[in-house]
Amino acid sequence: MKTVYVDGKFLPWDKAVIPVDDLAVLRGYAVCDIIKTIAGRPYCLDAHIDRLLSSVTQIGLTPAWTKEEIKEIVFKVLEKNAHMDKANIRILVTGGSSPDFFIPADNPRLIVLITDIPALPAHWYTKGVKVITFVQQRALPDAKATNYIPAVLALKEARAQGAVEALYMTRDKMVLEGTTSNLFALVEGTLITPGKGVLKGITRKTILALGKKLFPVSEQDLSLDTLLSASEAFITGTNKGIVPVIQVDDHIIGTGKPGRGTRALMSAMADQRGNG
Ligand SMILES: Cc1ncc(COP(=O)(O)O)c(C=O)c1O
């Protein structure tokens, strides 16, 4: 059984619990981050913990652990689950228990879970996927809060329409990001990704760095019309790498197949981290 860390203790998975008065339970008040391990080593650990600590501050909590302390706990969790070659590390910081069940009382809880990585269908990468647009904006876009209620609703709608991801879109039809992914489009040879109102994904950062070697790159607002005119589009995330997008709602993107630019980035990424 997997060993995880909850609020100061390493525990077997089935004993890992938090009190029901934690603000994460009562108010959905918590942040998280998810890190992939490759050959037993966490990928981009520093960047993920920096983002976690930034999320903690953005929701108005005072970080109770240093980056080094969190890293040490992550490495201990990995050590205690040494049989897992590939895994997802999920770090959560909850609001903690609060006397008035509302305002945090400076006693956040730290949780470090380790889970298997769900396999994604190979055809997503070879044939590309459909995504839908969904009018929604996240309240604190650059914080990774655990509140994924809009995401669940959007993804259910996506599945109902035969799509694998939903892209959040403003009321005036500016596309932002997916429920668990960032969005890129190749428009007239320039690689564009929305610059505002999105989570600054760790994969997004890698793609921006790799992309610069291949195309002009621009972080800018992206309208739905521009996205639909793109020759290629793709979504990115820790759990999915790069997934080519060949359809947005009822519109086919480019040739309807994963394009050359997307494939070049997929192989550059695979060279860098050992997967797509
Ligand atoms: C809303 C949102 N945008 C983007 C991403 C992609 O970020 P990353 O590449 O760090 O996984 C995620 C990941 O879960 C997300 O939840």
- Specify the ligand 1 atom closest to the Cα of 199: 3
pLDDT of 50 strictly over 50: yes
CB 247 within 8 A of CB 161: no
Entry field: residues in the chain: 276
Q: What is the overall mean pLDDT for the chain?
A: 96
CATH numbers and ranges of domains, the chain: 3-115 (3.30.470.10), 122-273 (3.20.10.10)
Q: What is the DSSP string of 29-97?
A: -EEEEEEEEETTEETTHHHHHHHHHHHHHHTTPPP-S-HHHHHHHHHHHHHHTTT-SSEEEEEEEE--B
CB 131 within 8 A of CB 167: yes
Separation of alpha carbons 61 and 97, rounded Å: 13
Tokens representing residue 153 in the block: 């609703």
* Residue to mutate (ligand 1; options 115, 182, 202, 219; most atoms within 8 A of CB): 182
In tens, the pLDDT along 254-275 reads 999 999 999 999 999 988 865 4
Q: 238 alpha carbon to ligand 1 midpoint, in Å?
A: 7
pLDDT of 276 strictly over 60: no
Q: What are phi and psi of 196, to 5 degrees?
A: -125, 155
On the 0-12 / 13-18 / 19+ scale of CB atoms within 10 A, 250 is exposed
pLDDT of residue 67: 97
* Average pLDDT of the residues in 46-70: 97
pLDDT of 93 strictly over 60: yes
Q: 246 alpha carbon to ligand 1 midpoint, in Å?
A: 20
In tens, the pLDDT along 156-166 reads 999 999 999 99
Q: What is the 8-class DSSP label of residue 234?
A: E
* Average pLDDT of the residues in 122-139: 97
In tens, the pLDDT along 208-257 reads 999 999 999 999 999 999 999 999 999 999 999 999 999 999 999 999 99
* Average pLDDT of the residues in 19-26: 97
CA–CA distances in Å: residue 118 to residues 121, 132, 145, 196, 245: 10, 22, 21, 30, 20
Q: Is 266 helix (H, G, I), strand (E, B) or coil?
A: helix
pLDDT of residue 274: 54
pLDDT of 109 strictly over 50: yes
On the 0-12 / 13-18 / 19+ scale of CB atoms within 10 A, 226 is middle
Is the shortest distance between the CB of 167 and ligand 1 below 6 Å? no
**Percent residues over pLDDT 70 in the chain:** 99
* Residue nearest ligand 1's atom 14 by CA: 180
Q: What is the 8-class DSSP label of residue 91?
A: E
pLDDT of 197 strictly over 80: yes
Is the shortest distance between the CB of 206 and ligand 1 below 6 Å? no
Q: 264 alpha carbon to ligand 1 midpoint, in Å?
A: 22
